């Protein structure tokens, strides 16, 4: 039943958390963690049992970021629910002139009204049940749910144990969750916890305009970051047919792969979105009339079915198709140019090979302090392949890698878990995969064949020293995402529907009591 006092408490706490900037890869993440520790530290449960509250530092982190574990333990009870929520956000540059209001939900509404004519946004701006601002949806409201739940669950005398992990760096490299896993395992050993399920309160949204359903997601999509180093042949811009423009190679790859449904992943349960570019670079450091010799492109690829080796083969073929198109286009252009000039035409003899990365043991680069992991892998590929003067594409992967997971409804434990949650969430729609990458990827065993293939395809993987995949072996547990509902995450019109925050709180309370 709706409890307006509780709803307002969750609204006010969400606003308080939003007001503290915690942009990923900034000192704000540490400030936010300090704030959460400050809130938790005054709860009687942690005054009496300080050992139930632990910090999980991010390894070798220049910003001093950390995640937090908070346990509510019942005497002689082992059944435990693992709660997850990240407190970092994406940046606020997309707010433009409204940037000063990005963390001020009360002031932001009036400012957005001045610049939008979208009828749906205008309607929501007039609705007091919507809270606008960076992090309102993704996912300070989900953090507010866990903080409130811990406060009140600690006063209960029955039900399951609750262990919540407040996570940093979800929007970046997921170092917060990855480095928290050993601490979660240690806490489970120290207090004899039987972790039976993991629940993330990351945001949920309409799947299409006008979709008002509420969702339970029994798993999460995976992600690979697919990159190509494109090595062309440099030329003077006044003699372009004497070379191959690396930027044209990148362009052909984008034309072939970007937003192409042929590269969606699918299984009997769902279909992913197609790949989209996340980065395009060439290596020219200053202006000149020399064409680009090297360029690179990175694609965000979501997974639910194909193995890493299957993706490798698919993207080798994609590269070959793109390169055939480049050579055909160059020859067609040259033929027409020769006609205009009155010259005899002879086909250009360019060939561009397409190869998957294979590490050379002679390459031994050092991962620099604060170097971006993707830049490090790209630097490794360049070091290894640029000594070969022939035009080519090199396919490789970069961190982060997110394994996909979903519940197996033939598994009695998974089936019972879904049934219990659905009892607590009448009217909610169950779907097998959370459609956005999430920390749920790291709380269950990854396919070892995929892990091995990923290690092989990521240049300098061992130097990155990022993920102890064996640490996840003991957490082969059912998972669910049950998050507040709203619209436009990662946009300046991001907003959460406040009653949905209370609904999530209510569902989790009921499940913990079962």
- 406 pLDDT more than 90: yes
Is the domain of 144 the same as that of 243?
Answer: no
Is the domain of 8 the same as that of 94?
Answer: yes
pLDDT given at position 363: 87
Residues 176-202 have pLDDT tens digits of 999 999 999 999 999 999 999 999 999
Tell me the residue range of the domain where 247 lies: 222-401
Domain closes at, from 373, 401, 429: 401
Residue 169 in any domain: the answer is yes
Cα separation, 357 vs 397, in Å, equals: 9
Q: What is the CATH number of the domain that holds 43?
A: 3.40.630.10
- Upstream peptide bond of 400 is cis (omega within 30 degrees of 0): yes
Contacts of 400 (CB under 8 A, 6+ apart): 173, 174, 223, 225, 373, 466
pLDDT given at position 253: 98
pTM recorded for the entire structure: 0.93
pLDDT given at position 283: 84
SS (H, E, C) 305-347: CCCHHHHHHHHHHHHHHHHHHHHHHHHHHHHHHHHHHCCCCCC
Domain count, the chain: 2
Q: What angle do CA 169, 179, 491 make, to 5 degrees?
A: 15
- 372 pLDDT more than 80: yes
Cα separation, 57 vs 60, in Å, equals: 9
Residue 464 in any domain: the answer is no
Is the domain of 199 the same as that of 252?
Answer: no
Q: Are the C-beta atoms of residues 218 and 407 closer than 8 Å to each other? A: yes
Residue 250 in any domain: the answer is yes
Is the domain of 22 the same as that of 167?
Answer: yes
Is the domain of 329 the same as that of 251?
Answer: yes
pLDDT given at position 435: 95
Q: Are the C-beta atoms of residues 179 and 58 closer than 8 Å to each other? A: yes
Residue 459 in any domain: the answer is no
pLDDT given at position 84: 98
pLDDT given at position 2: 63
Nearest Cα to 90, choosing from 1, 26, 183, 31? Answer: 26
Lowest mean pLDDT among 42-46, 308-312, 402-406, 467-471: 467-471
Q: Are the C-beta atoms of residues 330 and 284 closer than 8 Å to each other? A: no
Is the domain of 181 the same as that of 281?
Answer: no
Beta strand 130-132 with 215-217 is: unpaired
Calculate the dihedral angle through the C-alpha atoms of 470, 473, 478, 483, rounding to the nearest 10 degrees: -20
pLDDT given at position 467: 84
With pLDDT > 70 as the criterion, what percentage of the chain qualifies? Answer: 99
Residue 456 in any domain: the answer is no
pLDDT given at position 468: 82
Contacts of 137 (CB under 8 A, 6+ apart): 203, 205, 484, 486, 487, 488, 489, 494, 495, 496
Residue 460 in any domain: the answer is no
Please state the rounded mean pLDDT for residues 315-328: 97
Is the domain of 272 the same as that of 216?
Answer: no
Is the domain of 318 the same as that of 354?
Answer: yes
- 1 pLDDT more than 60: no
Is the domain of 158 the same as that of 89?
Answer: yes
Q: Are the C-beta atoms of residues 295 and 392 closer than 8 Å to each other? A: no
Please state the rounded mean pLDDT for residues 276-304: 93
Is the domain of 54 the same as that of 133?
Answer: yes
Q: Quote the mean pLDDT of the chain.
A: 95
With pLDDT > 90 as the criterion, what percentage of the chain qualifies? Answer: 88
- Confidence at 97, pLDDT banded by 50, 70, 90: very high
- 257 pLDDT more than 80: yes
Q: What is the CATH number of the domain that holds 276?
A: 3.30.70.360
Please state the rounded mean pLDDT for residues 85-96: 97
Beta strand 392-402 with 353-356 is: parallel
């Amino acid at each position: 039943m709706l409890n307006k006092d509780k709803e307002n408490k969750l609204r006010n706490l969400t606003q308080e958390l939003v007001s503290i900037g915690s942009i990923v890869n900034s000192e704000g993440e540490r400030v936010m963690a300090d704030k959460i520790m400050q809130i938790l530290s005054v709860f009687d449960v942690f005054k009496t049992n300080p050992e139930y509250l632990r910090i999980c530092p991010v390894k070798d982190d220049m910003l001093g970021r950390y995640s937090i574990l908070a346990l509510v333990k019942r005497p002689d009870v082992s059944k435990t629910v693992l709660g997850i929520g990240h407190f970092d956000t994406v940046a606020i540059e997309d707010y433009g002139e409204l940037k000063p209001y990005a963390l001020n939900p009360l002031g932001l509404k009036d400012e957005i009204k001045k610049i939008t004519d979208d009828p749906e946004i205008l309607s929501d701006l007039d609705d007091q049940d919507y809270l606008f601002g960076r992090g309102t949806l993704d996912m300070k409201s989900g953090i507010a749910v866990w903080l409130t739940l811990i406060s009140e669950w600690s006063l209960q005398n029955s039900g399951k144990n609750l262990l919540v992990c407040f996570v940093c760096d979800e929007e970046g490299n997921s170092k917060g969750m990855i480095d928290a896993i050993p601490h979660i395992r240690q806490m489970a050993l120290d207090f004899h916890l039987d972790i039976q399920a993991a629940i993330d309160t990351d945001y949920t949204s309409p799947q299409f305009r006008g979709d008002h359903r509420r969702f339970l997601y029994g798993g999460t999509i995976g992600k690979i970051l697919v990159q190509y180093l494109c090595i062309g042949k440099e030329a003077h811009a006044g003699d372009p047919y004497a070379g191959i423009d690396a930027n044209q190679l990148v362009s052909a790859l984008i034309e072939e792969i970007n937003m192409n449904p042929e590269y969606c992943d699918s299984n009997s349960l769902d279909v992913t979105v197609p790949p989209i570019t996340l980065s395009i670079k060439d290596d020219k450091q200053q202006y000149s009339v020399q064409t680009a010799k090297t360029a690179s492109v990175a694609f965000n690829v979501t997974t639910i079915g194909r193995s890493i080796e299957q993706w490798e083969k698919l993207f080798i073929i994609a590269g070959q198709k793109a390169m055939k198109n480049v050579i055909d286009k160059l020859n067609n252009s040259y033929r027409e140019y020769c006609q205009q000039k009155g010259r005899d035409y002879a086909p250009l003899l360019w060939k561009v090979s397409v190869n998957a990365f294979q590490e050379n043991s002679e390459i031994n680069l050092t991962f620099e302090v604060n170097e971006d992991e993707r830049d490090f892998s790209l630097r490794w590929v360049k070091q290894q392949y640029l000594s070969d003067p022939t035009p080519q594409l090199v396919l490789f992967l970069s961190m982060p890698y997110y394994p996909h997971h979903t519940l197996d409804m033939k598994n009695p434990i998974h089936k019972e878990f879904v049934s219990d949650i659905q009892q607590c969430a009448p009217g909610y729609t169950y779907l097998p995969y959370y459609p956005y990458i999430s920390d749920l990827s790291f709380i269950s065993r990854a396919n070892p064949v995929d892990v091995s293939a990923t290690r092989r395809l990521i240049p300098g993987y061992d130097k990155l020293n990022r993920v102890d995949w064996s640490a996840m072996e003991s957490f082969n547990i059912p998972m669910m995402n049950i998050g507040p509902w709203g619209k436009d995450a990662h946009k300046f019109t991001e907003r959460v529907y406040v009653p949905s925050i209370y609904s999530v709180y209510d569902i989790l309370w009921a499940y913990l009591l079962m």
